[in-house]
Amino acid sequence: MNFYIIIPAHNEADCIAKTLESLANQSLPAKQIVVVNDNSSDDTTQVVLEFSAKYSSISLVENISSNAHLPGSKIINAFYKGLEILDQDYDVICKFDADLIFPKHYLKQLASHFQNNERLGMAAGFCYIEKNNEWVLENLTRKDHIRGALKTYRKQCFLEIGKLKPSMGWDTVDELLAKYYDWELLTDESLKVKHLKPTGASYNKASKYLQGEAMYKMRYGFLITLISAVKLAFKKKSFTLFRNYMSGYFRAKNQGIEPLVTEEQGVFIRKLRWDGMKGKLKKSD
């Protein structure tokens, strides 16, 4: 299978060499690896150029955007800059972060999963972070969710969901739409990916309302947003986050912001969310 990989990178000079080294040494090499240097002020460009001189599959795209490190639109807009230079000769497309170290057989094992199930639309391993000199499962990891840091899509699924949405929540709505179009998702816990920076560690404070806005744009509705906000705030141990999430939801609603999904897709998404919550309640009984 032909794997194409796009890596948006903003000030990742201290990590990206390890990411590219792990990808260059895969037992199933990617056909194309495009790094989009998104307005970096460090040596990201030079590090990538050293790799592109050594490996013909690695290339660099320079992108100029804002200096603010915001989740959602910035990273997906950079992704599209990379996508623009690629041809259509791929079976699988990946959006990877620039601070990951992949095990040697990562792509080969994903290829096997895709080949064994023609309805598999998305697949990935699990992220691990270093704590007290040990690599432990990142606390945001769930078996039913593929992290935004290491998204991998079958081409047909990627195209059918309308590619990626340049908005906070892109890494949730892609899965919801994949399910809407009857694609399956898979997480392989045997594929342990080292995540060198905790998710969101460098996000700008201006992003605090974006999670709630995303829930509105995915047509969750008030009750599902409320429950989701409580769960996320509890997980991160911050009541302030709960307040920010709900404020973001109502701001988006009052401003009449355009949702990311159609009304019909919204009905499907709300049912999916309710069914998921009911299933978890039954398991806890």
pLDDT exceeds 80 at position 202: no
Q: Which long-range contacts (CB under 8 A, 24 or more apart) does 253-260 make?
A: 253/216, 257/213, 257/216, 257/217, 258/217, 259/216, 259/217, 259/218, 259/219, 260/165, 260/167, 260/169, 260/173, 260/214, 260/217, 260/218
**Residue for token pair 């041809």:** 87
**Is residue 249 located within the same domain as residue 271?**
yes
pLDDT tens-place string over residues 204-251: 455 678 889 999 999 999 999 999 999 888 887 888 999 999 999 999
Domain hosting 163: range is 3-195
Average pLDDT value for the chain: 92
Q: Three-state DSSP class for 272?
A: helix
Phi, psi of 284 (to 5 degrees): -80, -15
Percentage of residues in the chain with pLDDT exceeding 70? 93
**Is residue 29 located within the same domain as residue 129?**
yes
**Is residue 224 located within the same domain as residue 170?**
no
**Is residue 123 located within the same domain as residue 209?**
no
- Per the structure block, which two tokens stand in for 234? 């509890």
**Of 195, 222, 256, which residue sits at a domain end?**
195
Average pLDDT of the segment spanning 62-73: 73
pLDDT exceeds 90 at position 280: no
Task: Provide the whole-model pTM.
Answer: 0.90
- Examine residue 108 and state whether it is found in any structural domain, yes or no: yes
pLDDT band, very low/low/confident/very high, at 279 (cuts 50, 70, 90): confident
**Is residue 191 located within the same domain as residue 215?**
no
What is the tally of structural domains in the chain?
Answer: 2
> Residue 28 in contact with residue 112, Cβ under 8 Å?
no
Q: Three-state DSSP class for 113?
A: helix
**Is residue 46 located within the same domain as residue 157?**
yes
- What CATH number corresponds to the domain at position 122? 3.90.550.10
Closest among 156, 7, 172 to 95, alpha carbons compared: 7
**Is residue 174 located within the same domain as residue 251?**
no
pLDDT tens-place string over residues 1-46: 999 999 999 999 999 999 999 999 999 999 999 999 998 999 999 9
**Is residue 212 located within the same domain as residue 183?**
no
**pLDDT (0 to 100) of residue 160:** 98
**Is residue 238 located within the same domain as residue 132?**
no
Concatenate the DSSP letters of all residues of 198-261 into one string.
Answer: -TTTT--GGGGGHHHHHHHHTT--HHHHHHHHHHHHHHTT-HHHHHHHHHHHHHHHHHTPPPSS
Q: What sign has the CA pseudo-torsion 139, 166, 265, 188? A: negative
DSSP 119: T
**pLDDT (0 to 100) of residue 222:** 97
pLDDT exceeds 90 at position 201: no
80 contact partners, CB below 8 Å, separation of at least 6: 164, 166
Average pLDDT of the segment spanning 106-122: 98
**Is residue 83 located within the same domain as residue 27?**
yes
**Is residue 109 located within the same domain as residue 151?**
yes
- Examine residue 200 and state whether it is found in any structural domain, yes or no: no
**Is residue 42 located within the same domain as residue 115?**
yes
Average pLDDT of the segment spanning 74-90: 95
**pLDDT (0 to 100) of residue 204:** 47
**Of 195, 219, 247, which residue sits at a domain end?**
195
pLDDT exceeds 90 at position 64: no
